[in-house]
Structure 1
Amino acid sequence: MKREEAPKEAVASAATASEDVPTITTDAGSDQGLGLYLYGIADADVQTELGRIGIEENAVYTIPHNGLSAIVHDSPLEPYKSDDEEVVKIWVTTHQQVLDIAEEKFGTVIPFGFDRIIKPEEKVPAKDVLNNWMADEFDSLKDKIERIRGKKEYGVQIFYIPSVMSEKIVAESEEIKKIKEEMDSKSPGTAYMYKQKLEIAIKKEMESRMVSHFKDFYERIKKHAVEIVVEKTKKTDEKDKQMIMNLSCLVAEDRYKELGAELEEIDNEEAFSVRFTGPWPAYSFV
């Protein structure tokens, strides 16, 4: 099992931090026709330029407020849109890279999801809208910084192969063996009914085992994580593989190797495989 470090899917759609974040813009902030594209809020009180590292090579800079700094670039008011998936992928990757650079420079950064644009309000430039919001949300922002300080987010997806699991059940379950023996001794017409009974019994046992495995895996993973968010499972591209677990894990920076070792053990279990991704900014925990 190899830990993946490709851009996380959630970056493109996550709207992290408060849902009450205002719509921003700087000199964009002081221009009513421009907004501010918000990457994140850093645990630093500094006014600086990071260079043209932003989406579409926009100049990224910080707007400090009372010990915190918003990481932004001047932006049109319309969101970034494209029918070209590769273009969107580049935008999302760049968004991620800006956050990575900001974390290296400033330390803890509250990440915001892709395409968060702060807009000016009536006669109030976006920079002032941003500063007002940061003042209103100051305590909440500080709490979030403390929550994620020294930690990273990792994605854990666990899959199983139903056909392999079904074979294990048939080989191990006394109830299933009994139904099979009864079916083998019946006439073809009656055997068909037993076949249906067998399929129902296997399905029931499969569901029971998956619940048990979920609980077991969750407890094993929890030992190495500060917090866990259980996400919805997704369909896979592989026909004979199903996702049993989809987790976002907040992990202390010095514990991810222990988590990786635990997941390696799960990955080696018959019928199971693991996808381990990260580290990411803690999108799911702010």
Structure 2
Amino acid sequence: MTEPSFETGRYLYCVVELPETEVSGFSTTGVDGEGVYLVRVETIGIVVHECDTLYDTADVDVVRKWLLEHQNVIDAAGDRFGTPIPFQFDTILRGDDERVRTWLDRERETFASRLDEMAGCWEYRIEVRRDDDTVEETLRDDERLVELDERITESSAGTSHLLERQYEQRLEELKHQQRADRTAALIEQLEPMVHDLQDLGHERTTLEMETDTDDEMTRETRLAVLVHEDRQHDIDDLLDDVAADPGVEIRYTGPWPPYTFTPTIEANDAKSDNI
């Protein structure tokens, strides 16, 4: 079972590329008010703070505060050094700064290659929503729906109920296919403009279900895109065109550090071996 505390450890925020000359003065306040600093191996640095326990609490407000503090540190490092490789909240390496240097030196080529590949790129999240009534209105001319609608009008109550179920089933099938087609079309348009892209699916997470009360809009598309700074305006223009369709709402957030596109960290190093 995971131990909640340990003798000494380092909380990991992100890896950054450093200039060859000496870096001085990078420090800020991190999670739970801890002092943050930089551990360096040649031109690769890792932003850390000292710790001896996991950040675990049942208090949702405290967790949100910690997450915001975690993000603020990574944002500050990104502003100072360029696109970072971020770690997820509560990633801890057990040991002191020398242990961090040993691990970082072993992984330095992997990090250096990925930092070079992502230089100048930032993650954006794209969510396309459509008004349910508008979506359904565009599908009413489907031949099968028209046929079922006519039969419902002419049928008895018992038969009508069965036909209505068939109508709703057909409508859902059409909506599902339409979502898939539109998502595929948007991805095809985006791919030449982005460095990388991941389809996150359209289903809501548990937290989003708790906080999102907009029942009139159906989530159609959720994408994470890694975009170079030079192509951001191209993405803006494309999404403006999508949003011009009736009943469409676009939620476009960023720039974020590239959480979705970071390399996998070996389990024996930065998450499991630590605790």
TM bucket, shorter chain = 0.7 to 0.9
Partner residue of 1:94?
Answer: 69
CA distance 1:34–1:48, change in 2 (3 Å): farther
Structure 2: unaligned runs, 5 residues or longer:
1-5, 263-275
Tell me the alpha carbon deviations over residues 53-78 of structure 1, each in whole angstroms, 9 at most, x when there is no partner.
Answer: 222332221111022111111222x1
- The equivalences for 1:129-278 within 5 A come to 129-170=99-140, 172-235=141-204, 236=209, 237=212, 238-278=214-254
Separation in 1, partners of 2:158, 2:65? 60
- The equivalences for 1:23-38 within 5 A come to 33-38=7-12
Separation in 2, partners of 1:43, 1:187? 73
CA distance 1:267–1:184, change in 2 (3 Å): same
Separation in 2, partners of 1:205, 1:233? 16
Separation in 2, partners of 1:81, 1:182? 59
CA contact (8 A) 2:224 2:260 kept: yes
> Quick one: which of 69, 76, 83 aligns to 1:108?
83
Helix, strand or coil at the partner of 1:34: strand
CA distance 1:198–1:129, change in 2 (3 Å): same
Separation in 1, partners of 2:10, 2:39? 10
TM-score (norm 2): 0.81
Structure 1: unaligned runs, 5 residues or longer:
1-31, 121-125
Tell me the alpha carbon deviations over residues 13-69 of structure 1, each in whole angstroms, 9 at most, x when there is no partner.
Answer: xxxxxxxxxxxxxxxxxxx83211111111015454433422233222111102211
Does residue 1:85 correspond to 2:54, yes or no? no
Does residue 1:279 correspond to 2:255, yes or no? yes
Partner residue of 2:32?
Answer: 56
CA distance 1:97–1:193, change in 2 (3 Å): closer
Helix, strand or coil at the partner of 1:228: strand
* Residues paired across the two proteins, number: 248
Separation in 2, partners of 1:137, 1:54? 24
Partner residue of 1:39?
Answer: 13
Separation in 1, partners of 2:166, 2:203? 29
> Quick one: which of 93, 97, 105 aligns to 1:127?
97
Separation in 1, partners of 2:221, 2:260? 16
Give 1:134 shift: 1.3
When structure 1 is superposed on structure 2, of 216-225 and 138-147 the one drifting more is 216-225
Instruction: Write 1 or 2 for the structure with the bigger share of helix.
Output: 2
Separation in 1, partners of 2:182, 2:59? 40
The amino acid of 1:129's aligned partner reads R
Sequence identity percentage: 23
CA contact (8 A) 1:155 1:247 kept: yes
CA contact (8 A) 2:226 2:258 kept: yes
RMSD (CA atoms): 2.1
TM-score (norm 1): 0.79
CA distance 1:202–1:130, change in 2 (3 Å): same
Give 1:140 shift: 0.9
Separation in 2, partners of 1:49, 1:88? 29
Separation in 1, partners of 2:133, 2:10? 52
